[in-house]
């Protein structure tokens, strides 16, 4: 049994010409315009967009809990439900940003219409500072 002969990868009978090359087609397209087409966008009518919701009046309450958690402390941010004007996406996005900035774990828990963010660790001061920087009114344990 001898070695199999190596081929150069070109199909049999190709002859090495450019007619089988996929780039030969691209060379024929050299006369295309180089500018991008402009999209037709309808002008925005003033006053039709929903105004950005201001969250300065939203009151959030911080609680520190250790019960049923193996002695570990968690900070609970309450008051983020439908009555406060938050949908589930807003609450989950706020929780994701807080977890990232604090470097801790956490989750969003729902209790009827109210939602709470549960953040791991005893970081009430940092949580209160971050929420105030976002324009929230923070009550409860803040130190």
Quote the domain boundaries for residue 86: 59-137
How far apart CA 87 and CA 110 sit, in angstroms, is: 11
**pLDDT for res 130:** 94
* Residue 131 resides in a domain: yes
* 3-class DSSP state of 3: coil
In a domain, 25, yes or no: no
Cα separation values, 32 from 35, 36, 39, 72, Å: 9, 11, 18, 66
143 inside domain: no
Q: Given this model, what pLDDT does residue 50 score? A: 47
The pLDDT value given to residue 80:
85
CA 87 → CA 19, 61, 90, 136, distances in Å?
59, 18, 5, 16
Per-residue pLDDT tens for 36-54? 777 776 666 565 444 445 4
- Specify if 40 maps to a domain: no
Q: How far apart are CA 67 and CA 47, in angstroms?
A: 50
Residue 104 contacts residue 120 (beta carbons within 8 Å)? yes
Low-confidence ranges of the chain (pLDDT < 70): 1-2, 6-19, 32-34, 41-57, 82
Q: How far apart are CA 128 and CA 138, in angstroms?
A: 6
User: What pLDDT is recorded for position 112?
Assistant: 82
Assess if residue 79 is contained within a domain.
Answer: yes
Q: Is residue 124 part of a domain?
A: yes
In a domain, 38, yes or no: no
Domain count along the chain: 1
Per-residue model confidence (pLDDT) at position 52: 45
User: Do residues 118 and 95 lie in contact, with contact meaning Cβ atoms separated by under 8 Å?
Assistant: no
Check residue 73 and give its pLDDT: 94
CATH number assigned to the domain comprising residue 125 = 3.30.780.10
- The answer to whether residue 17 is domain-embedded is no
């Amino acid at each position: 049994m001898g070695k199999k002969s190596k081929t150069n990868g070109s199909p049999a009978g190709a002859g090495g010409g450019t007619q089988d090359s996929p780039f030969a087609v691209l060379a024929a397209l050299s006369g295309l315009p180089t500018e991008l087409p402009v999209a037709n966008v309808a002008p925005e009518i003033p006053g039709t967009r929903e105004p950005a919701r201001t969250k300065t009046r939203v009151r959030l309450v911080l609680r520190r809990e250790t019960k049923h958690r193996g002695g570990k402390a968690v900070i609970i941010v309450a008051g983020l439900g439908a009555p406060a004007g938050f949908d589930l996406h807003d609450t989950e996005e706020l929780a994701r940003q807080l977890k990232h900035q604090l470097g801790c774990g956490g989750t969003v828990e729902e209790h009827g219409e109210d939602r709470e963010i549960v953040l791991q660790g005893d970081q009430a001061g940092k949580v209160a500072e971050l929420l105030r920087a976002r324009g929230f009114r923070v009550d409860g344990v803040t130190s």
